[in-house]
Amino acid sequence: MPPRYRYEQIADDLAGRISSGEFPPGSKLPSRRELIEHYGVTEPVIDRAMQVLWIKGMTETLPGVGVFVAE
């Protein structure tokens, strides 16, 4: 199996946490700053992971408010 980018690992981890119900539909995900601290990565890595979740239809973003789990 080829090595995976860190953003892919983070997106998969967050997707698993959403699927398990840790973050139920309609709930707000942790802030970008909290995710940066939790995963020990830079802002662009978190932004890319969030983009993956959005493309998969798992999240919705409200600018200036946050990222929420899609209903």
Reported pTM: 0.92
One-letter amino acid of 5 = Y
> Residue 11 is part of a domain; what is its CATH number?
1.10.10.10
Total domain count, the chain = 1
pLDDT, tens digit (0-9, with 9 covering 90-100), for 16-50: 999 999 999 999 999 999 999 999 999 999 999 99
In three-state secondary structure terms, 36 is helix
Query: CA-to-CA distance for 57 and 18, rounded, in angstroms?
Result: 12
32-39 vs 43-55: helix axis angle to the nearest 10?
110
In a domain, 1, yes or no: no
Q: Is the pLDDT of residue 3 over 90?
A: no
Beta partners for residue 59, in sequence order? 69
In a domain, 34, yes or no: yes
The DSSP bridge pattern shows strands 66-69 and 59-62 to be antiparallel
In a domain, 33, yes or no: yes
